[in-house]
Chains A and B, each alone.
Chain A
């Protein structure tokens, strides 16, 4: 078990990026892949892509992010990679449908963001589960699927 108790920095910082680049040449960079929601955890037991059992236990003031470096030694580095959030884009037919759709998403405690006339729902589970809940809105044309994209 490898205990990881602090965030050393981020892989995008030039000094760290140089060291990671060198280590990566020798296959000595290990990756922990997390869903976006799981980056809020301060403690988690997780395996790297090379199978190392990691016990992550951070101070409550720390927050994991894409590129967080948890270990940086001559022999090995461990870096967090965050899976991108998948968003389901919905276009309401008119103002009344938009009001209803907004209420509906809120009532189901869905995480949303707004882009122009689109409501984008963060998929925290199977896409089919969300489409099943939206079936009536989609079938009668109050809303339609539009431009499902990815990214934070």
Chain B
């Protein structure tokens, strides 16, 4: 194998790393649970890093889910503010992703779920190649207008629990329109992770933007 071919092979074998951030209870873990069968059907080899404050709660939930082999999930205990380990010093998460990549090679995709945080949380691009931010309608229709860095800067914004809009007095069309406006037109998707509604489009975005499918 030539040096060029070896280099191309190494790059090809390197998994895409995608962050998932968002407030507590917005549906980050449910999003992963909804995406797993879709990526399985597409033949995508996938692993997950979860972040919790002082437990392995989300990792154990996914390991018990039957949706993914338990050894493909690693939990990181942040021990402090969740954004610290995805932005200021993402060493713990980089090491966890590297470990998965070494053990499970070849991998196509590693999802890195942040612990629940506030609207200011963002991912370091030293850790991920691309990141999504998940909010939900029950948090209030005015959330996009507050222009939190998570909402403004994420590569993909997901507004989850779309089915709850009429029950919590949220104008879903207005919420999505305002979200698009503060994001300068970058993508905003509506989902209902419980039913799977909208998740195909999330998978399509990841397939195009980081898995480099045509």
A and B: interacting chains: yes
Question: Hey, which bits of chain A sit against chain B, CB under 8 A?
Answer: 1, 3, 5-6, 37-38, 40-45, 55, 57-60, 62, 109, 124-125, 129
Asked if B12 lies at the interface with its beta carbon under 8 angstroms from chain A, I say: yes
Complex Cα gap A44–B12 (Å):
13
Residues of B within 8 A of A129 (CB): 147
Q: Is the CB of B11 within 8 A of A41?
A: no
User: What range describes how many residues of B lie at the interface?
Assistant: 20 to 34
Complex Cα gap A11–B157 (Å):
36
Query: How far is the CB of A41 from the nearest CB of chain B, in Å?
Result: 5
Within the complex, which residue of A6, A43, A58, A124 is in contact with B210, where a contact is CB–CB below 8 Å?
A43
What would 6 more interface pairs be, CB under 8 Å, given A41-B130, A57-B12, A125-B153? A5-B8, A5-B11, A6-B7, A6-B8, A42-B129, A109-B88
Q: Is the CB of A38 within 8 A of B208?
A: no
Asked if B72 lies at the interface with its beta carbon under 8 angstroms from chain A, I say: no
Question: Hey, which bits of chain B sit against chain A, CB under 8 A?
Answer: 4, 7-8, 10-12, 14, 16-17, 87-88, 120, 124-126, 129-130, 147, 152-153, 208-210, 212, 214
16 CB < 8 A contacts A-B: A37-B125, A38-B125, A40-B126, A41-B125, A41-B129, A42-B129, A44-B209, A44-B210, A45-B210, A57-B11, A57-B16, A59-B11, A62-B11, A109-B87, A124-B153, A129-B147
